[in-house]
Amino acid sequence: MRALRLLGWKSEPELVEVAEPEPGPGQVVVKVGGAGACHSDLHLMRDFEGGALPWGPPFTLGHENAGWVHAVGDGVRGLGTGQPVAVYGPWGCGICGRCRVGTENYCENPAEAPVPGGGGGLGLDGGMAEFLLVPSARFLFPLPDGLDPVAAAPLADAGLTPYHAVRRSWPKLPPGTSAVVIGTGGLGHLAVQILKATTAARVIAVDTREEARRHAVEHGADLALPSDDATADAVRDATGGRGADVVLDFVGVDATLATAAASARMLGDVTIVGIGGGTLPVSFFSVPYEVSLQTTYWGTRPELAEVLDMGARGLLRPDVTEFPLDRAMDAYRDMEAGRLTGRAVIVPA
């Protein structure tokens, strides 16, 4: 089969011929219906080098996957061939305290995981191929009626990651509050929808691109602002001088982190999701009082079920541009050049 593989750090992936995977005991092979192109893959191609992560190339890209059960290994029960499924991506050990409650994104026993701190498309072979080997049936979620694999794929990361970030801030978002989404691309356009569907907060979208701001408003943002030195003041103007109760940064460069901190309300949350490599100096007077700052990584297994339910009910609608496998690099080039709205999904079949 063909697979889009990252063969070394600081290089572009290549479409190469590899053997079709076969399921061992407890494993499942999924015929890939859709594999989302995440900006993190661009970071993998451009920013990382040996030693920065506990895993490395070569591996097949694609950590945001959905498809159909193709073959099951010994001992797998309850999954029939042809069953449409979404793949939970952060593959933990399955037995530590975090994994036992489904928080495999924060597995505390990574040495026992299929790959330490990664998953398919992140150290192990991912979904940008015709077939994907999934090491345990517990990573598979049957798709609810109304959701096909192309629409489900982005939900596994571009949906799940902002859902986790928003969910942990729910108590700070009753009626009368505001939330800022910085970077309304793949993750951000779904963050806007998640905030609208699960909270009563007023949603302010921030992006450098006019097209992305227009898109965010189409998806429910109440206000859209350009991203520059004046953004934080504009957020304060729009919130009666108070600032936003929750700020989610899906970019993570110095400038957006500074905007995020300066836009937050006292007692608010600033959550860094984007891995743009920026830093935010924190000192007594540099951030509003009692602002909580956190990074978040992906989401939990139970949260993926919630996100898929929202997708099937039309509460979450990923805006998808499809690309065949042999044009996957075009998807990344379009993403890098700011020509995409929503999410690019690679459709190998």
Contact residues: ligand NAD, CB under 6 A? 38-40, 43, 157, 161, 182-188, 206-209, 212, 227, 250-253, 255-256, 273-276, 296-298, 335, 338
Q: Which does 312 bind (CB under 5 to 8 A by kind): ligand NAD, Zn ion, none?
A: none
Compute the least distance from the CB of residue 144 to ligand NAD, in Å: 23
User: Of 33 and 36, which CB lies nearer to ligand NAD in the complex structure?
Assistant: 36
Cα–Cα dist 43/341, whole Å: 19
Going by C-alpha positions, the residue among 325, 320, 324 that lies closest to residue 341 is 320
Q: How far is CA 191 from CA 66, 206, 317, in A?
A: 20, 12, 11
Q: Considering only residues 125, 157, 207, 269, which one is a binding residue for Zn ion as defined by CB under 5 A?
A: 157
Q: Considering only residues 34, 62, 84, 92, which one is a binding residue for Zn ion as defined by CB under 5 A?
A: 92
Q: Which residues contact 127 (CB under 8 A, 6 or more apart)?
A: 30, 32, 34, 35, 60, 62, 63, 64, 65, 67, 87, 120, 121, 153, 346, 348
Q: Which does 185 bind (CB under 5 to 8 A by kind): ligand NAD, Zn ion, none?
A: ligand NAD
Q: For residue 45, which phi and psi values (nearest 5 degrees)?
A: -75, -30
Whether residue 58 has a cis bond before it, omega within 30° of 0: yes
327, β-bridge pairs: none
Q: Which does 96 bind (CB under 5 to 8 A by kind): Zn ion, ligand NAD, none?
A: Zn ion
By the rule CB under 5 A, 61 interacts with Zn ion: no
Compute the least distance from the CB of residue 171 to ligand NAD, in Å: 21
x/- letters, 286..315, toward Zn ion (CB under 5 A): ------------------------------
Q: Is 154 helix (H, G, I), strand (E, B) or coil?
A: helix
Compute the least distance from the CB of residue 219 to ligand NAD, in Å: 12
User: Of 207 and 245, which CB lies nearer to ligand NAD in the complex structure?
Assistant: 207
Going by C-alpha positions, the residue among 79, 294, 319 that lies closest to residue 190 is 319
Cα–Cα dist 109/331, whole Å: 35
Question: Which residue do the tokens 């192109």 mark?
Answer: 37
By the rule CB under 5 A, 38 interacts with Zn ion: yes
Q: Considering only residues 6, 76, 93, 253, which one is a binding residue for Zn ion as defined by CB under 5 A?
A: 93
Cα–Cα dist 194/327, whole Å: 30
Q: Which does 205 bind (CB under 5 to 8 A by kind): ligand NAD, Zn ion, none?
A: none
Q: For strand 119-120 and strand 123-124, is the pairing parallel, antiparallel, or unpaired?
A: parallel
Q: Considering only residues 29, 86, 87, 99, which one is a binding residue for Zn ion as defined by CB under 5 A?
A: 99
User: Of 73 and 120, which CB lies nearer to Zn ion in the complex structure?
Assistant: 120
Compute the least distance from the CB of residue 132 to Zn ion, in Å: 15
Cα–Cα dist 83/101, whole Å: 25
Compute the least distance from the CB of residue 52 to ligand NAD, in Å: 14
Judged by the rule CB under 5 A, the positions of this chain that interact with Zn ion are: 38, 40, 92-93, 96, 99, 107, 109, 157
